[in-house]
Amino acid sequence: MKKIYQTFIVLFLFCSSNIAQNNKNLNMTMVIKTPDMQIITLHSKLVLYNPVVGYFFQPHKRMDYQESASIGITGFPFLEDDMFAGINEWISQVFTKEQISKKIINNTINVSKMLSFRIRHLPIILAPNSLQQNLSIKYAIMDFVNQNENYNNFSLKLYYKQILLPVGKVVPLDFFNKEFEGYSFNLKLEKEDSLAQLKLNSKDPLFIGIMKSVQESKLTETKFLFRISLVKKKNPALNNNYYEFVAKYEEDFIPSIKSIFNSDLLEKHDLPINIYYSELNFPFTLYNQLKKQLYKKYATYRKILKSKCKIIIVPISLNKGNLLADVFIDYKKIKLDDNIKRWTPIKKRIQIPLVLGRVSINLPKENWSANFTRKGEHYDIYGYSDYERYINEYLNIKILNKERLK
Amino acid sequence: MKDYELKLSQFIDNELPADKQQELFHFLSENKEARKILADYMKIKNETKSFYKEMNTEFDDTQVISSRIYTQKENERKYKMMFYFSAAATIVLAFLFGSSFFKSNISLEKYQRLQTKYIIMQKNYSNVLNEKKRLVNLTDKFVKENENLKTKQVSIKHNLFHKSYSIKIKKKPARNLSYKNRNTYFANIPTYTITKNDFLGQQIIGN
């Protein structure tokens, strides 16, 4: 009898350990790239059995204020387990009553195709490869055939997918890519403890600035959900006084961190509050067409002409319906890794009225230059004359949970 | 083998009949070689006998029994182990099968329940739609009657002046409130500009 118990316990432990390996909470990052190389990053926690819902609009014309993707509210309640797709007429009735339809109407007619998805993390019992995660995806695609006429004229498709994904690898979601031509949807799952890490030298003015703000902060408990977007518009002075929208790089639910990695002491510096850290990576565009044509032929062009913008938000206090926060911006326009400082980090104190829930920061036009040779290819880039004068850049910050903070 | 050798061998083993023995003895008295072979056979037999006499062929019963018990126990243990494993595997399989069966039953029940709910909802919905259509028709009818009445009233009034015309009530276009609100919303968003004081450290220029 003893042996039976022992054997059963061993088998039970084996099974449960296998399940447990798959039961850990995960961080999910979905990156959507548009044909004109704009980037939307969506973050979400993936808890076992708890569904993550979200949507994406394919706009006719991209507008800087339009939310084209988000994790949260979806327009299709039949994506829930309890609801089944049925008669089109019934679905359309449900659809028009829901928030998304209102959103489309409020944002004027600018949507040609819409995706609504629900992702559910399920366990794998006795998995062949315990590093893989089991995701059940239910999604609907609404195609507005002729949106100029009528928003009731659309076709709707509903799909179910069961996929096994490895942890720590970027996986293209081909079934979404197929539906949205030219767009790319990538999904990455990471363990909850492998959050974004901010590495700074203790003598770095950014580190000193952040530490000052952290000491000043009184918000030890409050959690915020931020969306940030870096928007580029053509300089109206060179574009017939017209602010023409160029690009938007957006990140939803930017991750919160509670420590900074001290790169000179090689140790973690714990913080008493949550700070919010995002790193936007996007291509750099040269507006001096002659140089652009010349450098485009270079083999190193794509590797070097890449921008990286680190954004750190330190909430300071919540008072009278306003959030006081310090925003740190460390923007590197091109990737050179030569330890020459070309761009100055910024600290801006902002006040976000919770009624509006957002602010905008006009980014400065810096006078920088980069003259260098890489693998025998010589570049002469003058920041202001080749880029800055053509473009106005803005950093928009939005609080997504403003209702809870009021 | 020679013919007499077989007879000699039978004689040694006491298998040769008595009448044949007489013949054999007669033959032996005349043949020296045969006598020598007989002597050899006798010698072999005696040596074999003495060898088996020295050999202890008795087994100790307790030893045999214990060895048998030992192997039996070994087998039993093996069978027990195999039984335990198979029992455990059966329990696990039964558990997995049972849970999946139970789950599928639950989901089937849930599906049926929802299906029924869905059908009821569909019916309700179609009823509501019919009711809505009826109400819309009634409203249309009422609006038309009202319009006719107004037109008649106006024409009666104007008939006094020998003039008649009908009134067309123009629908006011719905105001795009959301658009207006959105513009106000965007106009109120605080916008910050970076000043020299916002740079961390001295601003880097021209590097």
Contact yes or no for A295/A379 (Cβ under 8 A): yes
Q: Is B204 on the interface with A (CB under 8 A)?
A: yes
Alpha carbon of A178: minimum distance to chain B alpha carbons (Å):
31
Looking at the partner chain, which of B96, B200, B206 has a beta carbon nearest the beta carbon of A369?
A: B206
Looking at the partner chain, which of B125, B182, B207 has a beta carbon nearest the beta carbon of A369?
A: B207
Quote the pLDDT of residue B168. 42
Q: Is B184 on the interface with A (CB under 8 A)?
A: no
**Residue A326 host element (H or E):** strand A322-332
Q: Between residues 18 and 47 of chain B, which touch chain A (CB distance below 8 Å)?
A: none
The per-residue DSSP string of A365-401 comes to ----EEEEEETTEEEEEEHHHHTGGGEEEEEEEEETT
Quote the pLDDT of residue B175. 39
The tokens for A26 are 């995960």
A202, A239, A216, A233: which is closest to A363 by C-alpha? Answer: A233
Residue A164: exposure state from Cβ atoms within 10 A (0-12, 13-18, ≥19)? middle
Bridge partners (DSSP) of residue A189 are: A28
Quote the pLDDT of residue B205. 72
| SS3 state of residue B89 | helix
How do residues B48-81 score in pLDDT, each as one tens digit?
877 767 665 454 455 555 555 666 677 788 888 8
CB environment B187-198: b (16+ within 10 A), e (fewer): eebeebebeeeb
- What is the C-alpha separation between A179 and A175, in angstroms, rounded? 7
Looking at the partner chain, which of A346, A352, A358 has a beta carbon nearest the beta carbon of B200?
A: A346
Encode chain B (207 residues) as per-residue pLDDT tens digits: 677 888 888 888 888 888 888 888 888 888 888 888 888 888 888 888 777 676 654 544 555 555 556 666 777 888 888 888 888 888 888 887 776 666 556 677 888 888 888 888 888 888 888 888 888 888 888 888 877 776 666 555 444 443 333 344 344 444 344 445 666 777 888 999 998 889 987 777 765
Quote the pLDDT of residue B191. 92
Looking at the partner chain, which of B81, B85, B185 has a beta carbon nearest the beta carbon of A356?
A: B185
The tokens for A116 are 């609504």
Helices (runs of H) and strands (runs of E) counted in chain A = 9, 21
Give the mean pLDDT of A118-145: 79
Give the mean pLDDT of A89-97: 58
How do residues A249-282 score in pLDDT, each as one tens digit?
999 889 899 899 888 878 888 999 999 999 999 9
Q: Vertex A106, ends A230 and A400: CA angle to 5°?
A: 45
Phi, psi (5° rounding) for residue A60? -70, -50
Quote the pLDDT of residue A244. 83
A276, A284, A170, A283: which is closest to A228 by C-alpha? Answer: A276
Residue B149: exposure state from Cβ atoms within 10 A (0-12, 13-18, ≥19)? exposed
Chain B interface mutation, best of A12, A322, A348, A352, highest count of B Cβ atoms under 10 Å: A348
Chain A interface mutation, best of B103, B178, B198, highest count of A Cβ atoms under 10 Å: B198
Please give the residue that has the higher pLDDT: either A153 or B146: B146
Phi, psi (5° rounding) for residue B183? -60, -40
Q: What is the CA radius of gyration of chain B?
A: 62
Phi, psi (5° rounding) for residue A208? -65, -45
Q: CA torsion sign, A334 to A340 to A343 to A349?
A: positive
Alpha carbon of B55: minimum distance to chain A alpha carbons (Å):
48
Query: How many residues comprise chain B?
Result: 207
Alpha carbon of B159: minimum distance to chain A alpha carbons (Å):
44
- All residues of chain A having their beta carbon less than 8 Å from the beta carbon of residue B118 are 84, 86
The per-residue DSSP string of A89-119 comes to HHHHHHHHHSHHHHHHHHT-S-EEEEEEEEE
Quote the pLDDT of residue B206. 64
pLDDT higher than threshold 90 for residue A310: yes
Looking at chain B, which runs of residues are DSSP E strands? 191-193
pLDDT higher than threshold 70 for residue A205: yes
- What is the C-alpha separation between B149 and B146, in angstroms, rounded? 5
What percent of chain A clears pLDDT 70, i.e. is strictly above it? 79
Give the Cβ contact number of residue A132 at 10 Å.
Answer: 16
